[in-house]
């Protein structure tokens, strides 16, 4: 069962943001109702008619590695990507100078939600290319931009990100891939693993962004540089030449996202792959983080997407399955009338509402930071703060929501034919790639909480509290949820205070970093469901929306306030207790 959730996205974009914030974004981008409607309608059609039908078959067939080092994607993927490129979907955010449409990240994120929900494995190719476009627009030379961006933007070529090596995952300072100067260029040698769409048959060329160490560079992360390494060399007239010295030696066999080729790439088996330096030597990590942050935003969106797909699958099954007589109901009523099934479904739906709100808000903050609209320094800080929260909380919750989707199906959820198991398998990678949950949490606590003594994070909590306090005094039905959010914000602020003034060691802070991230994600989720409920209340007499749709938005805020928001206090208590208990457990004790 696939549902693009057009109306939910439309409502979130048109009414989920504060009026002032939406006005600022709309001063830079076209967010008119006509534009939003047109983009979402066409994106939903493409997702429903082209991408979704390939999701299950792509999972079953998977990708194929051939002895000549070629990789072919599942049946229909190549044709679907060509349709995607021809329709202009690859060019939404890119600059008009290189053939892009320069659209708001809000609209780009909304369509990405549809792509990933329809077919997560397929859409990963698009996600990596968008990140590379962003990095090259920001740091590439004029020649590099003119050579690579038009083809990446129109979907003729695709891009990858090459960080991980067999011995160096998170620890990028340990990478061994080398770059030897060769005239104006470099020769790259080394092996990279876990490269999403590192080789495939969907595009004419694949442009790799590769981290490597120039001969004589400083040790550790300070000596890392970034290089463009195309699969096929690009001639002066833009045509493709000989294949570069890079090949796919294998693809991984995985738990999920089987339609996506996860490649092992060998660079420089012979004379060395030709690479072109991006920026300056030893700037590689800084530049790669620009691409990585964009990718982390995209993976957070994937969390929302797969959660939404799992919810609609479970909702549809529960509306058809008859099992027992639900309490105070009649024979023949479906399982959606069982109280606990409704607890699961309504909880899933409320958290999805929260996720979508966080996505739209974070995208808007990114738009304002990028275009220096309003207080651009504030929005740059807020956008950076939201990345680990969005990536971490949305992906962690997606696994739980997909698990709940299996639970609603009962035994049939454990059987592959229903599709519920695929969503659960696909979701499990999301808290891992593009920086694990712990990496997001470390970024949040060390760089974005302790570094500025909590200024940015406490400003976020204060904004949540202000909205909650304003709505808690109203006479309408959302005041109860608002009061719960006031209390949650107070608990969160107290926990942040404990981190800042509690005398925790760096290790102890690390032990409570994930609870901090989950606490802030849950708090922001309550904020977003409350904003949505407020907007629904205001739209009651507009005649623009179905009344049941609006009543549901208000109900989701109550469900989140009662089912999810209490977790804020639990996380706060864990944070206040500190990491002493965890630190008291030695590795030897694990084997005792």
Of these residues, 434, 466, 583, 588, which one is catalytic? 434
Average pLDDT in the 223-228 region? 97
513-538 vs 376-409: helix crossing angle, rounded to 10: 90
Confidence of residue 513 (pLDDT cuts 50, 70, 90): very high
Does residue 452 register a pLDDT over 90?
yes
Half-sphere exposure of 585 (CA within 13 A, CB side): 9
Does residue 544 register a pLDDT over 90?
yes
**Which pLDDT score, from 0 to 100, does residue 286 have?**
86
In the predicted model, what is the mean pLDDT of the chain?
A: 96
Q: Quick check: 35 and 26 in contact, CB under 8 A?
A: no
Average pLDDT in the 392-410 region? 98
**Which pLDDT score, from 0 to 100, does residue 244 have?**
98
Give CA torsion, residues 82, 87, 89, 92, to 10 deg.
Answer: 140
SS3 call for 206: strand
Residue 196: φ, ψ to 5°: -65, 125
Q: Taking the domains of the chain in order of start, what are their residue ranges?
A: 6-153, 159-282, 438-580
171 or 161: which leads in pLDDT: 161
Does residue 49 register a pLDDT over 90?
yes
SS3 call for 382: helix
**Which pLDDT score, from 0 to 100, does residue 368 have?**
95
Half-sphere exposure of 386 (CA within 13 A, CB side): 26
Does residue 291 register a pLDDT over 80?
no
Alpha helices in 410-478 (DSSP H): 420-427, 437-442, 455-472
Does residue 59 register a pLDDT over 90?
yes
Average pLDDT in the 150-167 region? 96
pLDDT in tens, 292-329: 888 999 999 999 999 999 999 999 999 999 999 998 89
Average pLDDT in the 254-274 region? 97
Rounded CA gap, 112 and 132, in Å? 16
Average pLDDT in the 393-397 region? 98
Does residue 150 register a pLDDT over 90?
yes
Q: By C-alpha distance, which of 113, 58, 98 is closest to 80?
A: 58
Confidence of residue 57 (pLDDT cuts 50, 70, 90): very high
**Which pLDDT score, from 0 to 100, does residue 372 have?**
76
Confidence of residue 499 (pLDDT cuts 50, 70, 90): very high
Q: By C-alpha distance, which of 47, 34, 42 is closest to 3?
A: 47
pLDDT in tens, 64-121: 999 999 999 999 999 999 999 999 999 999 999 999 999 999 999 999 999 999 999 9
Give CA torsion, residues 491, 494, 498, 499, to 10 deg.
Answer: 80
**Which pLDDT score, from 0 to 100, does residue 289 have?**
80
Cβ neighbours of residue 150 closer than 8 Å, sequence gap 6 or more: 98, 99
| DSSP category for residue 168 | B
**Which pLDDT score, from 0 to 100, does residue 48 have?**
98
Q: Quick check: 566 and 523 in contact, CB under 8 A?
A: no
pLDDT in tens, 201-219: 999 999 999 999 999 999 9
pTM across the whole model: 0.97
**Is-catalytic flag, 434?**
yes
**Which pLDDT score, from 0 to 100, does residue 501 have?**
94
Strand partners, 207: 159, 230
**Which pLDDT score, from 0 to 100, does residue 292 have?**
84
456 or 286: which leads in pLDDT: 456
pLDDT in tens, 2-21: 999 999 999 999 999 999 99
**Which pLDDT score, from 0 to 100, does residue 403 have?**
98
- For the stretch 319-326, contacts whose Cβ atoms lie closer than 8 Å and that sit 24 or more positions apart, written own/partner, are 323/410
**Which pLDDT score, from 0 to 100, does residue 384 have?**
96
Q: What is the CATH number of domain 159-282?
A: 2.40.110.20
Does residue 374 register a pLDDT over 80?
no
**Which pLDDT score, from 0 to 100, does residue 137 have?**
95
Rounded CA gap, 522 and 397, in Å? 10
**Which pLDDT score, from 0 to 100, does residue 474 have?**
79
Does residue 477 register a pLDDT over 90?
no
Confidence of residue 173 (pLDDT cuts 50, 70, 90): confident
Cβ neighbours of residue 223 closer than 8 Å, sequence gap 6 or more: 213, 214, 217, 282
Domain 6-153 class, CATH top level: mainly alpha
Q: Quick check: 473 and 467 in contact, CB under 8 A?
A: no
């Amino acid at each position: 069962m696939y549902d693009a959730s057009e109306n939910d996205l439309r409502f979130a974009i048109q009414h989920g943001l504060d009026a002032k914030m939406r006005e600022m974004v709309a001063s830079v981008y076209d967010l008119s109702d006509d534009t939003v409607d047109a983009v979402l309608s066409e994106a939903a059609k493409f997702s429903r008619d082209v991408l979704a039908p390939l999701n299950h078959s792509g999972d079953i067939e998977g990708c194929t590695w051939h002895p000549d080092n070629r990789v072919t994607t599942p049946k229909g993927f190549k044709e679907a990507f060509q349709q995607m490129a021809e329709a202009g979907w690859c060019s939404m955010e890119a600059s008009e100078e290189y053939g892009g449409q320069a659209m708001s990240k809000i609209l780009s994120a909304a369509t990405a939600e549809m792509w990933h929900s329809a077919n997560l494995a397929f859409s990963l190719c698009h996600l990596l290319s968008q990140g590379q476009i962003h990095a090259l627009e920001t740091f590439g030379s004029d020649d590099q931009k003119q050579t690579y961006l038009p083809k990446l933007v129109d979907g003729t070529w695709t891009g990858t990100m090459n960080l991980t090596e067999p011995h160096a995952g998170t620890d990028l300072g340990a990478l061994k891939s080398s770059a030897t100067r060769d005239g104006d260029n470099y020769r790259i040698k080394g092996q990279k693993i876990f490269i999403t769409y590192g080789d495939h048959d969907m595009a004419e060329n694949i442009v790799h962004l590769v981290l490597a160490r120039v001969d004589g560079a400083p040790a550790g992360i300070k000596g890392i540089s970034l290089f463009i390494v195309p699969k096929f060399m690009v001639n002066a007239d833009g045509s493709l030449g000989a294949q570069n010295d890079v090949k796919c030696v294998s693809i991984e066999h995985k738990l999920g996202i089987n339609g996506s080729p996860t490649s092992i790439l060998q660079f420089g088996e012979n004379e060395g792959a030709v690479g072109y330096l991006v920026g300056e030597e030893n700037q590689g990590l800084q530049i790669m983080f620009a691409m990585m942050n964009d990718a982390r935003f995209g993976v957070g969106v994937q969390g929302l997407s797969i959660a939404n797909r799992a919810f609609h699958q479970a909702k549809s099954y529960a509306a058809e399955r008859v099992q027992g007589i639900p309490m105070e109901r009649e024979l023949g009523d479906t399982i959606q009338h069982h109280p606990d099934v409704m607890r699961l479904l309504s909880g899933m739906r409320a958290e999805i509402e929260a996720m979508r709100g966080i996505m739209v808000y974070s995208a808007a903050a990114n738009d304002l930071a990028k275009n220096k609209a309003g207080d651009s320094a504030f929005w740059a800080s807020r956008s950076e703060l939201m990345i680990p929260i969005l990536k971490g909380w949305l992906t962690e919750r997606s696994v739980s929501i997909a698990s709940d989707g299996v639970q609603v199906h009962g035994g049939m959820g454990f059987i592959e034919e229903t599709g519920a198991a695929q969503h659960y398998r696909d979701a499990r990678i999301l808290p891992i790639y593009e920086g694990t949950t712990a990496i997001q949490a470390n970024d949040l606590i060390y760089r974005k909480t302790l570094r500025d003594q909590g200024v940015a994070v406490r400003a976020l909590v204060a904004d949540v509290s202000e909205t909650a306090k304003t709505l808690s005094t109203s006479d309408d039905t959302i005041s109860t949820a608002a009061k719960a959010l006031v209390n949650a914000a107070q608990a969160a602020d107290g926990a942040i205070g404990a981190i800042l003034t509690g005398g925790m060691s760096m290790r102890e802070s690390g032990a409570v970093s994930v609870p901090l991230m989950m606490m802030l994600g849950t708090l922001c989720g309550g904020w977003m469901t409350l904003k949505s409920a407020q907007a629904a209340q205001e739209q009651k007499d507009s005649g623009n929306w179905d009344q049941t749709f609006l009543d549901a938005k208000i109900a989701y805020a109550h469900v989140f306030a009662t089912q999810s928001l209490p977790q804020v206090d639990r996380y706060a208590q864990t944070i206040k207790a500190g990491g002493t208990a965890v630190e008291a457990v030695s590795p030897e004790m694990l084997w005792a």
